[in-house]
Amino acid sequence: MTPGSVQAVLRRGLVAAAVVVALTGCSMLPFLGGGAEKPQPAELQANPATLGIRAAWTNRIGPVSFPLEVHVTGQQLALASSDGTVALLDAATGRDLWRASVGATIAAGVGSDGSTLAVVTSGNELVALSGGRVLWREKLPAQAYTAPLVAGKRVFVLAADRSVSAFDGATGRRLWSQSRPGEPLVLRQAGVLLAVGDTLVAGQGGRLAGLNPLNGSVRWEAPIATPRGTNDVERLVDLVGPVSRVGPSVCTRAYQAAVGCVDTARGTLAWTRPARGTEGVGGDERIVVGTESDDRVVAWRRDSGERAWVHDRLLHRALSAPLVVGSSVAVADGTGWLHVLSREDGSLRNRVATDGSASAAAPVVAGTTLVVVTRNGGVHAFVPQ
């Protein structure tokens, strides 16, 4: 393993453990590596501003140091900060609909169905909220870094040890739990957990699995990547979020290994391509877009997996996962910029500033509003003209 790859592991939040320590009660220890200098970020090109974008509103949620998912339901934005604050915002105006505290630091969130919100604390508690108050708390046997999924009056949790559990959304009663064989390393990064029709789709190792949400039984498994390295770090191929879903087609990334798409209606792999990125993907019915470890932005054709285009003018700028919206691809960087590229060829269309800090999550869209949340806790909304 080269010093540069060690630095990439450190930057993206790899956590090492001799066993699945969340099940044994031991503390996770950070993976320690070499000290090679990080490459300098590419200088920003002149901004053509061929697409108009105006700032709509700003809000603040508090610093974010965990793998945040900003959940959109209609015109509502569910988000949280590390200090335990959970908030529901109006995406049109940016105003708080409600704001509450779970009384502990947050490790994963936010999941929401528009009524119930769920987060996981650093003390391994699953907490459900509604209307600005805590509904219930339930202790988890393992730490989670993936936002809970709230669907069908249930709350589903994907833990760092690849186990999946279901809880009653009203009471917090555990309904079932499904475990997987342990791995020596886990990612301190959001995995894959979503509902597609009547199937719970979860990333477990390098595979996308379709589960029965009523009892956790496996309906199908589709391999995105197979571990091939000579050591535990190189063999780590966990699926990472976010994903791109269009109907039954779910496209995802296997950490530092591949990007692929699965037909979840049949449980079959459509295609997979080698890719060295560590962040999830975005997409629409035509393309799937991801950022590689060197921060090249790559687009693949959704139907075939053939490469559509590459944008290499943002190298080493610590890019987020991309968002495909309309005719554009939006991606935030580590210095407080939101870059808007053309969906057709990847060329730069515009660039706007947030607050100078790195993005805490992939950009999201609610209606006509594009929202970026930063590590400093800024919530910044933009509207294309």
Distance CA 341, CA 330 (A): 6
Return the pLDDT at 2: 40
Mean pLDDT check: name the lowest of 13-27, 188-202, 222-236, 247-261: 13-27
| Domain membership flag for residue 88 | no
The two beta strands, 149-151 and 133-139, are: unpaired
The two beta strands, 199-204 and 193-196, are: antiparallel
| Domain membership flag for residue 374 | yes
Distance CA 130, CA 121 (A): 17
Q: Answer whether residue 59 shows pLDDT above 80.
A: yes
pLDDT-based confidence at 145, cuts 50/70/90?
Answer: very high
Distance CA 21, CA 26 (A): 5
Q: Answer whether residue 103 shows pLDDT above 60.
A: yes
Helix extents (H) in the chain? 3-12
* Model confidence pLDDT, tens digit, residues 174-185: 999 998 776 667
**Mean pLDDT value of segment 215-226:** 96
* Model confidence pLDDT, tens digit, residues 315-351: 999 999 999 999 999 999 999 999 999 999 999 999 9
The token pair that represents 186 in the structure block:
């886990």
Any idea what DSSP says for residue 359? B
Return the pLDDT at 96: 98
| Domain membership flag for residue 333 | yes
* Contact between 273 and 258 (Cβ < 8 Å): yes
Q: Answer whether residue 165 shows pLDDT above 60.
A: yes
* Contact between 251 and 78 (Cβ < 8 Å): no
In this structure, what is the dihedral angle of CA atoms 37, 184, 176, 118, given to the nearest 10 degrees? Answer: -20
* Model confidence pLDDT, tens digit, residues 277-303: 999 999 999 999 999 999 999 999 999
Return the pLDDT at 29: 32
Return the pLDDT at 48: 97
Report the SS3 class of residue 380.
strand
* Model confidence pLDDT, tens digit, residues 359-382: 999 999 998 999 999 999 999 999
Return the pLDDT at 7: 36
| Domain membership flag for residue 144 | no
Q: Answer whether residue 57 shows pLDDT above 60.
A: yes
| Domain membership flag for residue 113 | no
Return the pLDDT at 334: 97
Return the pLDDT at 183: 65
Return the pLDDT at 36: 63
Mean pLDDT check: name the lowest of 46-50, 167-171, 233-237: 233-237
What is the strand order of the sheet 174-178 is part of? 149-151, 154-158, 164-168, 174-178
The token pair that represents 110 in the structure block:
């936010």
| Domain membership flag for residue 381 | yes
What is the strand order of the sheet 337-342 is part of? 323-325, 328-332, 337-342, 348-353
Q: Answer whether residue 13 shows pLDDT above 60.
A: no
Closest CA to 104 of 130, 78, 86, 88: 86
Instruction: Count how many domains the chain has.
Output: 1
Q: Answer whether residue 230 shows pLDDT above 70.
A: yes
pLDDT-based confidence at 45, cuts 50/70/90?
Answer: very high
Give Cα separations from 93 to 47, 113, 157, 268, 368 (angstroms): 28, 20, 31, 42, 12
pLDDT-based confidence at 207, cuts 50/70/90?
Answer: very high
**Mean pLDDT value of segment 208-222:** 97
Instruction: Classify residue 120 by burial, with Cβ atoms within 10 Å: 0-12, 13-18, 19+.
Output: buried
Q: Answer whether residue 88 shows pLDDT above 90.
A: yes
Phi, psi (rounded to 5 degrees) for 64: -125, 120
Report whether the peptide linkage leading into residue 110 is cis, meaning its omega lies within 30 degrees of zero. Answer: yes
Q: Answer whether residue 232 shows pLDDT above 60.
A: yes
| Domain membership flag for residue 326 | yes
* Stated pTM of the model: 0.89
Q: What is the mean pLDDT of the chain?
A: 90
Q: Which domain holds residue 324?
A: 50-65+278-385
Q: Answer whether residue 237 shows pLDDT above 70.
A: yes
Domain of 371, CATH number, reads 2.130.10.10
| Domain membership flag for residue 137 | no
